[in-house]
Amino acid sequence: MNKQDLIQKLSLVKHVEGGYFSETYRSCLTIDTAREGNQRNLITSIYYLLTKEQPIGYFNKNQSPILHYFHGGSPLTYLILSENGHLERVKLGFDVTKNQVPQLLVPENCWKATILESGEYGLLGEAVSPGFDYRDMSLATPDYFRSHFPQLWSELAPYVKS
Ligand code: GUN
C-alpha cells in the first residue's frame, strides 16, 4: 500500500488547511447551538492524510474540541497553541515508548498545526462534536499570528498559510 492507494481508496481530496481528507460520517441528528446559523450535526468524522509532498496542516482552530486518532504510516507532530500563547508539541503515533500518543484531544479554540517530519505519509482520523461546519473554523493568517504571538512568530511562521 502506498499514499496514492490511500488517496484513491479513501476518496481523499485536498484540504484548505493542507493535506488530504474525506468525510466518513456526518450524524443526521442535529443540535441547536449558540453559533452562527444555530444548527449543527451532532458529530462528524474524517480521514486526514499528510504526505511528503503535502507535509503541513496549517494552523487552524475550531469552536469544537477535536479528537485525533492515529491510523498508520509515520507519526505526526502537533503544535497546539492556546489563545494566551502557551505552545505545546505532541506526537501522534503508536510508539508510546517514544512519548507518542495514539489519541489526541485538541481543545476548542486552540490553534493547531500538524506536521509530517519524516516518512512518506501519516494517516489519522478526526472526530468532532458539534459536527464540522466551516463557520466554526478559522485558518490562521500571518497578520494575526505576527501581532498576537510576536515572540513565537519566527518559530510558527512556516506553519501559517500565507
Ligand atoms: N470539511 C472540510 N474540513 C473538514 C473537517 O475538518 N471535518 C469535516 N468533518 N468536514 C470537513
Q: What is the pLDDT of residues 121-157, one digit of tens each?
A: 999 999 999 999 999 999 999 999 999 999 999 999 9
The mean per-residue pLDDT over the stretch 69-90 comes to 98
Ligand 1 pocket check for 46: Cβ under 6 Å: yes
The answer to whether the beta carbons of residues 55 and 17 sit under 8 Å apart is no
Residue with the nearest Cα to atom 8 of ligand 1? 132
HEC per residue, the chain: CCHHHHHHHCCCEECCCCCEEEEEEECCCEEECCCCCCEEECCEEEEEEEECCCCEEEEEEECCCEEEEEEEECCEEEEEECCCCCEEEEEECCCHHHCEECEEEECCCCEEEEECCCCCEEEEEEEECCCCCHHHEEECCHHHHHHHCCCCHHHHHHHCCC
- Looking only at the bridges linking them, the beta strands covering 66-73 and 76-81 are unpaired
Residue with the nearest Cα to atom 11 of ligand 1? 132
Separation of 46 CA from ligand 1 center, angstroms?
Answer: 7
Residue with the nearest Cα to atom 5 of ligand 1? 132
What are the tens digits of pLDDT across the range 35-53? 999 999 999 999 999 999 9
Give the list of residues 6+ apart from residue 86 with CB closer than 8 angstroms, or none.
Answer: none
pLDDT of the residue at 128: 98
pLDDT of the residue at 1: 83
What are the tens digits of pLDDT across the range 13-31? 999 999 999 999 999 999 9
Give the list of residues 6+ apart from residue 140 with CB closer than 8 angstroms, or none.
Answer: 58, 59, 60, 61, 111, 160, 161
| Domain residue spans of the chain | 3-159
137: Cα separation from own chain's centroid? 11
pLDDT of the residue at 22: 98
pLDDT of the residue at 139: 98
Ligand 1 pocket check for 23: Cβ under 6 Å: yes
The CATH code of domain 3-159 reads: 2.60.120.10
pLDDT of the residue at 2: 94
pLDDT of the residue at 97: 98
pLDDT of the residue at 152: 98
Ligand 1 pocket check for 132: Cβ under 6 Å: yes
What are the tens digits of pLDDT across the range 102-117? 999 999 999 999 999 9
Percent of the chain scored above 90 by pLDDT? 99
pLDDT-derived band at 12, boundaries 50, 70, 90: very high
